[in-house]
Structure 1
Amino acid sequence: MAFKSIRVSDLTGAEGDDKDFVTVVVRQHPELDEPVQFDALPAELKSLKGLNDLVVLELRNGETTQVVTTKTEFNKLSENIGEVLKNADGLRGRRKGFRPSQQSDKD
């Protein structure tokens, strides 16, 4: 005897192969207390339109908060926001311009 596993979309119940599915992670929604995920087929997601002018920020100060704003509002933070972004440190590796040999020895 053999068993057959069938994958179905959580949105419509449509069947498909594992390779055909997309896992959709909902990180934040007004009706959710925590992130959730569901399976869907790409064709079922075609109606979703991305917004090209959004900026997603993560604010860290003991707690982490995610903020989504428009590029226009984000640009109001500084007249030089382009330069700020250009000179900003990446999340991986050392901060720009940091060299361990430059640290002063405090004994």
Structure 2
Amino acid sequence: MAIVSKKVSDLSGNEGNDEEFAGVVVRQYPGIDQPKALDVLVPELDQFKHISSDLVILEITTPDGKKHDAYVRLADFKKAAPNMDEIVKNARGTRGRVPGTRVGNGNGS
């Protein structure tokens, strides 16, 4: 007797070998509280519209410290300010020192 293992798409149930599959992680979806992994045949990926070039992903931290992600169309994000490209380009980074600060020992040296 032999044990046969086969891989099937979570979307269609169609079989394939490992080289024919892509991994898809669903990070946010109604009714789930943690990411979920799907095995999907590569041709089935065409069903998912790739909109990353027209999408702005924001991480918002409210005054009470809670964080959540927001996904906004680029055109809508740019409506928030007339010079949004310049604002984002000149914004401080999230890592390192705040622009204009200097390293020192606190006594002016």
TM-score bucket of the superposed structures, by smaller chain: 0.7 to 0.9
What TM-score do the two structures reach when normalised by structure 2?
A: 0.73
Question: How big is the shift at 1:59?
Answer: 0.8
Corresponding position of 1:63:
66
Amino acid across the alignment from 1:94: G
Tell me, in whole angstroms, the C-alpha distance in 1 between the residues paired with 2:68 and 2:5: 39
* Partner-residue secondary structure (3-state), 1:50: coil
Corresponding position of 2:86:
83
* Partner-residue secondary structure (3-state), 1:59: strand
Distance 1:90 1:18, change over 3 A: farther
Q: Tell me which of 96, 100, 103 is aligned to 1:101.
A: 103
Structure 2's unaligned 5+ residue stretches are none
Amino acid across the alignment from 1:104: G
Contact 2:92 2:99 in 1 (8 A): no
Distance 1:2 1:74, change over 3 A: same
Corresponding position of 1:15:
15
Structure 1's unaligned 5+ residue stretches are none
* CA-atom RMSD in angstroms: 2.8
Percent sequence identity over aligned pairs: 38
Tell me, in whole angstroms, the C-alpha distance in 2 between the residues paired with 1:102 and 1:85: 29
* Partner-residue secondary structure (3-state), 1:49: coil
Corresponding position of 1:29:
29
Distance 1:82 1:104, change over 3 A: farther
